Amino acid sequence: MTLRKVESLYSEREMRQYLQHIRFPGFAEVSTDDKDEDRERPTLPRPTLATLTLLQQHHLLTIPFENTSIHYESSHSVSINPNVVLQRFCSRRMGGYCMQHNVCLLNILRYLGYKCYAVAGRVLERALDGTQGDYEGFGHMIILVLLPNHLHEAQQAQEHLYAVDVGYGAQGPLRPLQLSDGHVEEGRFGERHRLIRLLPPESAFEDNPGTPQSPVLLQEMREANKLWHLQHAKGEADWQTQYSFLQTETFPNDFEKLNFATSKSPQSIFVSTLMLSQFTLNLVAQENEFKHASPEPIHADLHPYPSHAFGLHALLGARFSHRPAGGGKTEHEEAATEEKRIERIRQVFGLLGDVETGYALDAIEASKAGLPQQRRVPKE
């Protein structure tokens, strides 16, 4: 049994527009203009693990994770229509949140010939100070991709599922993760990610395999109720769960319902908090700390660029953060007013270029995520 190839909702022109936008190797300076018929167009990349890693990393380096449409646009809404999302990314030069990023990548992968499908996830809430909260309802998207196992010799490699996520933000993985219980992948600055399979903490099933007298169906259902948990650790710190996800295929109509709740519910962190993040790449940066510690060798298909070459820009609420490549000290800056925050979003992330400042201020004024506005301060 295997997966079948599902038709993409994107055209070849849209596929090439995306590859040029994310500056995929060989496409960064290529025109997608139909009138430019004399120029030889590059061949589309093959559906391999190496291509998948490059797609994931170039996407994360180019397209910000952000929820500005909820706060700075009058509709206060999020579209996950694949064609609308692609134009938001490539034409408007904006970003998006989890389901927007991954619905776009899902259709890119399908156009290239990958066998893949989408699943729903539940994010583990954390307060702004990092304190762990409860699991949210399903409101995240992850892509599972079927590829030859990179841990085996190419001639003997059996197909294996890999989890890919370009929509989790600042602490998300930078490369595909093999869907193997306990397998660890090294990241940047000594960060590690792993996937483990567990029952949800609130599950009615007991966390043991039962006895020989337990009904077989009950044992099977217990296994079926286990979720994959993405965990993150840095250095010698304990593992922290970021989110959990199903193995069951989830479909566009399902995600439309999840997206409505995630973008509209007053309890959603995306409604109450403005958040942005984008990775950067500096190939001349020197690594200051955290050498590779995994007993397994680094696989070239998963590490096209050195892990220490990635930096990060982030905004959470009013606080901007910049973590430079090489593991240098993270710098922080607070925005005291909404005008200052909008100005810095434009400078740091290159966003809101097509949104007038007054329009953005009007849109966010009634939001819980809004900051004080200078224009509302009475003149003396």
Q: What is the pTM of this model?
A: 0.91
Q: Give me the pLDDT at residue 299, please.
A: 86
CA-based end-to-end distance of the chain: 75
Q: SS3 for 277?
A: strand
Task: Dump pLDDT digits (tens) for 88-139.
Answer: 999 999 999 999 999 999 999 999 999 999 999 999 876 555 566 778 889 9
Task: Report the alpha-carbon distance of residue 89 to residue 104 in Å, rounded.
Answer: 9
Q: Give me the pLDDT at residue 256, please.
A: 98
- Higher-pLDDT residue of 364 and 286 is 364
- Asked if 45 contacts 51 with a C-beta cutoff of 8 angstroms, the reply is yes
pLDDT category at 367 given cuts 50, 70, 90 is: confident
The token pair at 138 is 């399903």
Give long-range contacts, CB 8 A cutoff, 24+ apart: 346-351. 348/313, 348/315, 348/320, 348/322, 349/64, 349/66, 349/95, 349/276, 349/278, 349/313, 349/315, 350/93, 351/64, 351/66, 351/68, 351/93, 351/94, 351/95, 351/276
- pLDDT of 294 above 80: no
Q: Give me the pLDDT at residue 291, please.
A: 45
Task: Report the alpha-carbon distance of residue 211 to residue 223 in Å, rounded.
Answer: 14
pLDDT category at 213 given cuts 50, 70, 90 is: low
Q: How many residues does the chain have?
A: 380
Task: Report the alpha-carbon distance of residue 335 to residue 179 in Å, rounded.
Answer: 40
Domain residue extents for the chain: 12-29+45-376
Q: SS3 for 52?
A: helix
Bridge partner residues of 278 (DSSP): 313
- Options 3.30.2140.20, 3.40.50.300, 3.40.640.10, 3.40.50.360; CATH for 12-29+45-376 is 3.30.2140.20
- Return the exposure string of 203-241: e unless at least 16 CB atoms fall within 10 Å of the residue's CB, then b: eebeeeeeeeeeeeeeeeebeeebbbbbbbbeeeeeeeb
Alpha helices in the chain (DSSP H): 12-21, 49-62, 68-72, 82-90, 98-112, 216-224, 252-264, 269-272, 338-349, 357-364
**What does 238-268 look like in DSSP terms, one character per residue?**
PPEEEEEE-SS---HHHHHHHHHHHHH-TT-
Q: Give me the pLDDT at residue 235, please.
A: 80
Left if phi > 0, otherwise alpha if psi is -120 to 50, otherwise beta: which for 190?
left
Task: Report the alpha-carbon distance of residue 198 to residue 201 in Å, rounded.
Answer: 8
C-alpha 230: how far from chain center: 12
% of the chain at pLDDT higher than 70: 87
